[in-house]
Structure 1
C-alpha cells in the first residue's frame, strides 16, 4: 500500500506543486481513503520525503554502480559524488525543488529527514568503508557524519549550480580539489 501511495503521489505533486498538493489529492489518485494515506505517512512532509527516498533507492545505486566497482581512488570517489549529483538531477521534482520560494523549505525538510539520510547512508557507507579499508579515506572518518556532509554539499551544488562553476566539468574539478580531500587519508 505504501508503494501504491508513493507511486500515485509523484504525478499529483507534479500537477499541483510541492506547496499546493494535498493528501486528499494523493488519496484520490491512489483510489484509497485519505485516512489510509495518513496510516502510512504522518503528514505531507512525510509523504514528500517518502517520494524522495523512493527515488534515491531506485535510481541512485544504479547511477553510481559503474564508479562503485572501480578500484578505490580519490578520482573515483569524486566520480561517485558526481554520479549521485547527476541522478539527483533526474528526479521529476528537481526543477520545482530549486524554486527560490521552495528551496529553503526543501533543504530543511530533506536534510533533517532520518529516512532520507538512512537511504543515503545505505548507499554511501559501504562505499566509504571500502575506501577506508583501501586506505583512501581517513580511518577516523565519521561515516554517518560524512554522508550528511555529502548530502549537504550536493544539495548546495544543486540549488546553487552556477555559484562555484558553470558546468559539470568545473563542478567535478571543484569536488575533486576541495570536497573529496576532506575525506582523504
Structure 2
C-alpha cells in the first residue's frame, strides 16, 4: 500500500494498515506496537501531553484500533510506565552490592530508580506532567504501579524485616507506596538538581531512618 506524503517523511504506512479487519495482528503484538508508539510520542513531546490521535499516527493505525486495545491515553502511558518499571527494578536490584544490608540496599534502590527517572526522556515526560496516571494508581494504596514495584521489592523487604533490620510494624505494601511517592518528589527540582553526595545524605537521613531500625 502506498504511503501519503507525510508518511513518506517518517517511513510509516497509511493509518490502519496493520489494524484493519483484514490485517489484524495477534493481541500481544498489537499492544506491543502501540506501547512502543506511545513511548516514541512521549520522547517527541517531552511533556507527557500526548493524544490518542498522535499515538495512532505514530503506530500507523486508526484511532479505533488504539481503542480496541487501550481505553485511552492514560492506559497507554500506564503500559509504558509498567514496562519501564520492570526493566528499571530488575536492573537496580541486580546490581545491589550488599543485599543483606537493608540500609545500604534501600539507599541504592531509591537513588538508582530516581537517577533512572532523571536521565530517561520518557520517564521525565511522565513525571514532569504530574501524571494523572500515577496519581490515580497511588490513590488509596492500590493500582498496578504499586503492584509492580511490590512484586520486586517485597521479597527483600520481608527478609530484612524478618531479621530485624526493618521496623516490625511496617506494612510492606504501604512502605512501597511511600517509597514511590517519595521517589516521585525526588524526581523533580530542587532535589533532582542536587549533587549525588547531597542526595545520598538526604536519603540516608530522611528515607532510611523511617524504615530501618537503629543499629
Match of 1:84 in 2: 113
Match of 2:11 in 1: none
Tell me how far 1:127 sits from its aligned partner: 1.9
User: What is the Cα-based RMSD across aligned positions, in Å?
Assistant: 2.3
After TM superposition, the score normalised by the length of structure 2 is 0.73
Selected match of 1:66 from 95, 118, 133: 95
Tell me how far 1:37 sits from its aligned partner: 1.6
Q: How many residues align?
A: 179
Conserved? CA contact 2:37–2:55, under 8 Å: yes
1:28-43 counterparts in 2 under 5 A? 28-43=57-72
Q: Considering only CA atoms, is the larger Rg found in Structure 1 or Structure 2? A: 2
Structure 1, unpaired ranges of 5+: none
With over 3 angstroms needed to count, the CA separation of the structure-2 counterparts of 1:31 and 1:80, relative to structure 1, is same
Conserved? CA contact 1:6–1:51, under 8 Å: yes
Tell me how far 1:152 sits from its aligned partner: 0.8
Match of 2:16 in 1: none
Selected match of 2:54 from 25, 32, 40: 25
After TM superposition, the score normalised by the length of structure 1 is 0.84
Selected match of 2:199 from 148, 155, 171: 171
Conserved? CA contact 1:64–1:84, under 8 Å: no
Structure 2, unpaired ranges of 5+: 1-29, 138-142
**Relative contact order (alpha carbons < 8 A, sep ≥ 6): 1 or 2 greater?**
1
